[in-house]
Amino acid sequence: MTEIRSQAPTASSLIAEERHDSELFRVYAAILDGITDHILLPGNKLTESELCRQMACSRNTVRSALSLLAHDKIVDLQPNRGAFVHVPDLKETRDVFNTRIEMESMILDMLADLPDLEARLQPLYAMIEQEENASAQGDRVGWNRLSNAFHVELARLLDNAVLFNIINTLCARSSLIVAVFDTKRQEKRSINTHTHAEHREILDLLLAGKRNRVIKIMRKHLGACVERLEKRFETIND
């Protein structure tokens, strides 16, 4: 399990490489990965002094990192109370996933026109194999990282930095949303064992030139996530 997790890309590792060497990014990345890996849970308070101690950095660096995370809707900064891991509600859940549906449908439509698509997709097929192994071994952190990375890496193939950053942020927020519902249910988190099969079908259809079909499958794939989360929300509030 540890080996798969170590191979799975963290949310922060998918961000533009030019930011990786800064001290601010190091702290930002550590907090972001703690949240997207569901270690720092929604509603948890992020104490500046504790973060400084854990990360051996200045208070100014922590404050700047929390400010960036607040801008990305991953952290909430509350006056006179401090910083807390953001807690998305049902409306935000729908907004995030519906935006992803439209954006990722557009991405597939653009990818279908690439002349060297087969070569570009090979690393994603390898990622799906890792996702399948993580699922089989019950490695939820590794599976969650790989599942999110699949969608982010699809966007990266277009070499459009603006589009890539939007999808990366949306996927990070999606992971936080899933953590909210898992936490509220207070039960063992399960892994969606169908995800890797659906990801493979998306790549196969894309390679086969089935433009309309692959977009339909992606919309169904993400739409099913919304439906599951809506049902969980209803259960929580019954």
Is the same domain home to 63 and 149? no
Is the same domain home to 205 and 106? yes
| SS3 sequence of 129-158 | HHHHHHHHCCCHHHHHHHHHHHHHHHHHCC
Is the same domain home to 29 and 65? yes
Cα gap 181→231, rounded to integer Å: 10
Is the same domain home to 39 and 100? no
Distant-in-sequence, close-in-space partners of 62: CB < 8 Å, separation ≥ 6: 27, 48, 51, 52, 55
Nearest to 5 by CA among 144, 209, 204, 120: 144
Is the same domain home to 80 and 138? no
pTM of the model: 0.85
**Per-residue model confidence as pLDDT tens for the chain (238 residues):** 444 454 688 888 877 655 555 899 999 999 999 999 989 999 999 999 999 999 999 999 999 999 999 999 999 999 999 999 999 999 999 999 999 999 999 999 999 999 999 999 999 999 999 999 998 888 888 888 999 999 999 999 999 999 999 999 999 999 888 888 765 544 444 555 578 899 999 999 999 999 999 999 999 999 999 998 888 877 766 5
Nearest to 88 by CA among 175, 163, 152: 175
Is the same domain home to 164 and 98? yes
Is the same domain home to 31 and 95? no
